[in-house]
A and B are shown apart, each in its own frame.
Chain A
Amino acid sequence: MKAFNYSPEHLTSNRQLFWIAAVLGVIMMAPVAWIIGLSLKDNAELLRGTEAVFSFPYTLLNYANILESSSVFGWFMNSMIVAVGQTVGVLLLSSLAGYAFARLEFPFRKTLFIIVLFGLAVPEQAVIIARHQMFNWFDLHNTHIGLILPNLSSAFGVFLMTQFFRAIPKEIDEAAMLDNASTFRIFWKVLLPLTLPAQATLGIFTFLQAWNDYWWPLISATKSDMYTLTIGIASSQTNFAQSEGLGFLGAQAVFASLPVVIVYIFFQRHIVTAVSGGAVK
């Protein structure tokens, strides 16, 4: 890392940079602060005017109402099941596929890998009608499986894991072969633990993407008890904002963001390396 330069000219330019960053930070954080403020205010007070956000008293009543509201808690659980299910599934399938593409010899390996890569270029919108139709045939709409299945085949995940497995020296496999380990044991006990950085990157991205996913749940989950949080909150905004109040809506939004925030806090290091492209080393 480059050492900080304390010369007056650099200090001035760094100060300017600081102020630009500070202004951008405020712009980005303002809606978040606004929502948190709303969530801490009484709904009746907010009906008189939202400027009430800037004055006391504040209350946690809206959060207490969430815990009592079966629908919000149900949506939260739906989101959690879908996000965790997708994350576990993607990690498992991408690791197995990545290992196979990187290490095993089988017919049409290169062709299949190109087909997988092609999947990166196909937008979800292009297949959504066909997918909707298929899920309809198999009666998978309004089920957790129906919400999890479509994103299990992650072209990005397979590509990432393949590249990571390829980066592991083949001599490690060979040493394990000489140690009389079976192919599965080499995968499970020797190579898979070495891919933990890639697993972390892929896991975080998959979880966040699944948690924030809006479009497929909007199509597949039409019954309110199968809503995920994103769909549930959106429907509250349009249907119940007046009856249940802005404060309650704000509390729902904050509640919905909590898992994402927690993931960021605990996996910050992995997210930074993933975004900076240095994850696969």
Chain B
Amino acid sequence: MKKNWWKVLSVLILSYVILKGLLGVVPRQPILNESIRNVYFHVPLWFGMTTLLLTSAIYSIRYLRSNRIGDDIVAVEFANTGIMFGLLGCATGSLWANFTWGEPWPNDPKLNGAAVAMLMYIAYIILRGSFDDEQRRARISAVYNILAFAVFVPLIFILPRLTDSLHPGNGGNPAFGKYDLDSRMKMVLYPAFIGFTLLGVWITELRVRMRRLQATLDE
């Protein structure tokens, strides 16, 4: 039980976020209206994805330094969970865009960057599939994983800021925090960042354990 406190924390935070997110009081905004509640789900999913992909890249670096196959398994599972969070982020985002920007997929650099990032990580999974030898697969895909993360950062965080984007904080738009996030919303949003990230780590941990068991069974 001592080691599992963070899972309890994740469940508690997420229940709080879902309850507060669906029932809590939110400020009235002209175009956003009630859809502003999506900020509790959409933004933390992207934040969680970035954290998971960063962790995946760190484990790939660790693999290249140590050559332990365990690090590679952790790296690929973090990437898998990151992809899942990314797809969920796309889904919540296009739902939101449909109501506020008028179409589910507006031609926006941040959306397209996210889609390309997903392509990159799916290519990573495909690359892994084309090797038979375990060590070879681990080393070469670790190299690609690090390269992918190095491209992911400018794609999501730098390029949208240079061009016009509909997202807040990009292309001269003020960031959310500047004007319409009041302190009550922050009380829900900041825990949501932690809660969703913990959930991602939990999913990853389960999958890593499953892989380890399968590896032991195969031997």
Q: Do A and B come from one complex?
A: no
Give the interface of A toward B (CB within 8 A).
none
